[in-house]
Amino acid sequence: MGPLARALETFFTDRGLALATDQAEQLAAGRRRRRIDAVPEPLRPAVESFNTFMLRSRERARRAGTLPRSDVTIDGKLSTVRDLAKLITERGKQDWALVEVHDIEAFLNILPKGRSRRLTITRQFFRFAKAHKIVLVDPTRGLSAKATKGFTGKILTLDQQRELFRRWTTDPAAHPHEVLLGILALLHGASSNEIRHLRIADLDPLDRTIRLGQRPHPVPMDPVSWTVLQRCLTHRQIQRTDNPHVMVTKGTKAGKTPASIAYVSHVLDACGISPRTLRSTRLVDLVNTMDPKLVAAAFGMSPEGVMIYLADHIDPTREAALPADRP
């Protein structure tokens, strides 16, 4: 479906003149089919059954009013099982019943940072396989995720932050979306999801504040951030769109949906930095210079989610400034 068809669908469905199409469901079904077809043939029937089981569970959750699995969640589970099936085939095994704990360990060691998530999905699959007599023994039993509790991501040095700040405040060639995402993530710790869902209604020109995601209080804008926001609004105005979001792309200007996750994830490709790195840099700085509980309250995060950014050391410059009689 192209932009014109999406615009017509939005127009007619908003006015109650037509029902929404099932394009999203068809695309999701196609993605699931491609993942299942990529599984080696001897192991494919079990994955097919696992996919059917997840879809039926989702329908039951919808009827019961509980939280159903999203298409993204199901796609991720099928991708993990597909990769596991390929590894098992490479190790000379053509049956799920032959999988051993050493095979699972080898699979988890491929991506150490994703060990916890991949182990959870693998356990779910083998729990299903055992219940349906596909395997007799669960090879994931007894394995530990051994997830690192502390923050292990990348952060930027002060010089790197200054360089990016100069780019986004002085370079007219930088795209307004890149500048908006970069400044809000670097200065205000905004996530890409918060920015892509930012609407015009979330802006307060009088107080110069904006509402980001689930944060309990409006976020005050400094002069630089407000100038960057106005530049993005000017770019949006040129597109002559009725889309209520601040960040509008060619694919969304005819509708009312936010920019796609794929688009936002590549906005900062020109400077070689990911939005997560910028957000992590800001959170690490705030948590290690302020009370983590205040940071959690300001960002609408759980205390556990904030504490992982707390460094296990004392800044040498601050340590030198402590009184000599203080322990």
Containing structural domain, residue 216: 158-316
Whether 189 has a pLDDT exceeding 70, the answer reads yes
**pLDDT tens string 146-156:** 655 667 678 89
Q: Which of 47-56, 231-240, 293-302 has the lowest mean pLDDT?
A: 293-302
Which residue in the block uniquely carries the two structure tokens 């556990």? 304
Band of pLDDT at residue 122, cut at 50, 70 and 90: very high
pLDDT of residue 326: 47
The verdict on residue 229 lying in a domain is yes
- Indicate whether 109 and 231 sit together in one domain: no
* Same domain as 103, residue 187: no
- pTM metric for this prediction: 0.59
Query: Residue 255 above 70 pLDDT?
Result: yes
- 312 & 236 share domain: yes
What is the rounded radius of gyration, in angstroms, for the C-alpha atoms of the chain? 24
Asked whether residue 168 falls in the same domain as residue 310, the answer is yes
pLDDT tens track for 295-309: 888 888 888 788 888
Q: Which of 281, 287, 234, 187 lies closest to 247 in space, CA to CA?
A: 234
Mean pLDDT calculated for residue range 103-129: 91
The answer on 118 and 173 residing in a single domain is: no
Residue 85 has pLDDT above 70, yes or no: yes
- Residue 151 domain-assigned? no
**Which helix (H) or strand (E) element contains residue 209?**
strand 209-210
State CA 4 to chain mean position distance: 28
Domain check: are 167 and 271 in the same one?
yes
Residue 145: inside a domain: no
Given pLDDT bands bounded at 50, 70 and 90, which one contains residue 311? low
CA atoms of 71 and 68, how far apart (whole Å): 10
- pLDDT above 70 (res 59): yes
pLDDT of residue 327: 45
In a shared domain, residues 180 and 274: yes
Q: Which helix (H) or strand (E) holds 210?
A: strand 209-210
Give yes or no for residue 2 having a pLDDT over 80: no
Domain count, the chain: 2
For residue 220, give the H/E element and its range: strand 219-220
142 pLDDT above the threshold of 60: yes
Q: What is the DSSP secondary structure assignment for residue 245, as one 8-state letter?
A: B
Average pLDDT score, the chain: 88
First to last CA, the chain: 67
Query: Are 185 and 52 in the same domain?
Result: no
**Residue at 198 is within a domain:** yes
On the question of pLDDT at 247 being above 60, the answer is: yes
The CATH number of residue 301's host domain is 1.10.443.10
Annotate 77-144 with DSSP letters as a single string. HHHHHHHHHHHHHHTT---GGG--HHHHHHHHTTSGGGHHHHHHHHHHHHHHHHHTTS-SS-TTTT--
Contact 49, 60 (CB under 8 A): no
58 burial level (CB within 10 Å; 0-12, 13-18, 19+):
middle
What is the rounded average pLDDT of the residues 197-207? Answer: 94
On whether residue 3 sits in a domain, the answer given is: no
pLDDT over threshold 70, residue 244: yes
163 and 311 in a single domain? The answer is yes
The answer to whether residue 165 scores a pLDDT higher than 80 is yes
